[in-house]
Amino acid sequence: MTVTASDAPAIAHFRFFEMEVLRTRRLGHSFLRVTFGGESLAGFRSGGYDQSLSLFLPPPDREHTVLPSTDEDTWFGAWRAMPDGERPVMRSYTVREQRRTPEGGEEVDIDFVLHGDSSPASFWAGRAVTGRRIMAIGPAVAENKSVRFQPPAATDALFMYADETALPAAAAILDRLPAGARVRAWFEVPHADDRLALSTPADADITWVVREGGAGRERTEHLLDVVRAAELPAAKAPYVWLAGEAGTIRAVRRHFVQERSVDRRAVRFTGYWRLGASEEELLAEAYAGKAPSEDPGSAL
């Protein structure tokens, strides 16, 4: 998930947590769930829905994350000043679920997309074993700015799109919707085995789009064809939540605003990644104030 300029250095309603791997579980071809615990999670306060946190993944030759500072005023500069080979990689992920154990402890599930060793997060998750510890900046209060799913009270239909990187967030949203809420969703995944069994009390109509090759414009056009062909439930106050590859969600947002006549202020969109750009490049843009706005009222 992309970290915006306002998210990266400031802690405010967030603080550092040391999280220990308790167990892992393969969910599909591309998904691995890592369950974390640890005494410090007693102060963790997930706001649910698409709640995000920042993980600090250790270098490949280290078992645990070590940071030079966790002080609110100095951590960022100290982390950035670490030598390249020693600096933990910061990546943003969604909290899939937080729960209390019968013993009174806290557990946090985070779902990772596995694609070999081509990224630090996939490399780390593929080797996660019980007892390994990483650091994270996470929510210390439930009402915080990292929960982007904020439908108005008058919302009478929810339209959703997520690719595999945003599917955990979409699933967490579906978990928490009220019974009878009307949902039309499109979830794009790279393999047929990634079509997960999702439960929700909502009245949800979900279409799975299996990528089966294709990239860039070809991929986006195929997705748009699927969305365009769908009949949407009539709604006076729809809310649209879009998350995934930045170029794709811009195109889907344009479709809803220009072709479906949805008020652009009712569209929440978040670029979790961008085709052709590394997360380090996206972070650098965010730090420089060049990240695109996620304000629902911003221009297309």
pLDDT in tens, 42-60: 999 999 999 999 999 999 9
Within 13 Å and on the Cβ side, how many CA atoms surround 46?
A: 25
**What is the average per-residue pLDDT within 195-214?**
91
- Asked if residue 4 is part of any domain, the answer here is no
Residue 278 has pLDDT above 70, yes or no: no
- Residue 245's contacts (CB-CB under 8 Å, 6 or more residues apart) are 163, 165, 271, 272, 273, 274, 275
Domain span at 92: 14-139
Residue 296 has pLDDT above 80, yes or no: no
Q: What's the structural domain count of the chain?
A: 2
Residue 153 has pLDDT above 60, yes or no: yes
| Same domain (yes/no): 89, 63 | yes
Distance in angstroms (rounded) separating the CA atoms of residues 56 and 91: 7
Q: Which residues of 144-166 are buried (b: 16+ CB within 10 A; e: fewer)?
A: bbbbbbebeeebebbbbbbbbbb
pLDDT at residue 7, rounded to an integer: 45
- Between 191 and 297, whose confidence is greater? 191
Out of 92, 107, 139, pick the residue that ends a domain: 139
Phi (first) and psi of residue 261, to 5 degrees: 60, 35
Out of 139, 166, 196, pick the residue that ends a domain: 139
User: Dihedral sign, CA of 212, 216, 222, 226?
Assistant: positive
- Between 15 and 291, whose confidence is greater? 15
Banded model confidence at residue 215, pLDDT cuts 50, 70, 90: low
- Between 6 and 140, whose confidence is greater? 140
| Same domain (yes/no): 55, 171 | no
Distance in angstroms (rounded) separating the CA atoms of residues 23 and 130: 6
What CATH number corresponds to the domain at position 127? 2.40.30.10
- Asked if residue 149 is part of any domain, the answer here is no
Mind spelling out the 3-state secondary structure of the chain? CCCCCCCCCCCCCEEEEEEEEEEEEECCCCEEEEEEECHHHHHCCCCCCCCEEEEEECCCCCCCCCCCCCCCCCHHHHHHHCCCCCCCEEEEEECCEEEECCCCCEEEEEEEECECECCHHHHHHHCCCCCCEEEEEEECCCCCCCCCCCCCCCCCEEEEEECCCCHHHHHHHHHHCCCCCEEEEEEEECCHHHCCCCCCCCEEEEEEEECCCCCHHHHHHHHHHHHHCCCCCCCCCEEEEEEEEHHHHHHHHHHHHHHCCCCHHHEEEEEEECCCCCHHHHHHHHHCCCCCCCCCCCCC
What tens digit of pLDDT does each residue of 231-277 get?
999 999 999 999 999 999 999 999 999 999 999 999 999 999 877 55
pLDDT at residue 217, rounded to an integer: 77
| Same domain (yes/no): 33, 108 | yes
- What's the pTM value of the predicted model, to 2 decimals? 0.88
Distance in angstroms (rounded) separating the CA atoms of residues 122 and 113: 7
Out of 77, 109, 139, pick the residue that ends a domain: 139
- Between 204 and 218, whose confidence is greater? 204
- Residue 3's contacts (CB-CB under 8 Å, 6 or more residues apart) are 54, 90, 92, 282, 283, 286
pLDDT at residue 300, rounded to an integer: 41
- Asked if residue 168 is part of any domain, the answer here is yes
Residue 200 has pLDDT above 90, yes or no: yes
| Same domain (yes/no): 200, 270 | yes
What CATH number corresponds to the domain at position 237? 3.40.50.80
| Same domain (yes/no): 21, 109 | yes
- Asked if residue 100 is part of any domain, the answer here is yes
- Asked if residue 6 is part of any domain, the answer here is no
What tens digit of pLDDT does each residue of 97-150 get?
999 999 999 999 999 999 888 889 999 999 999 999 999 999 999 999 899 999
Which residue reads 């979900």 in tokens? 206
pLDDT at residue 273, rounded to an integer: 87
- Could you give the dihedral angle defined by the CA atoms of residues 231, 233, 239 and 242, in that order, rounded to the nearest 10 degrees? -30
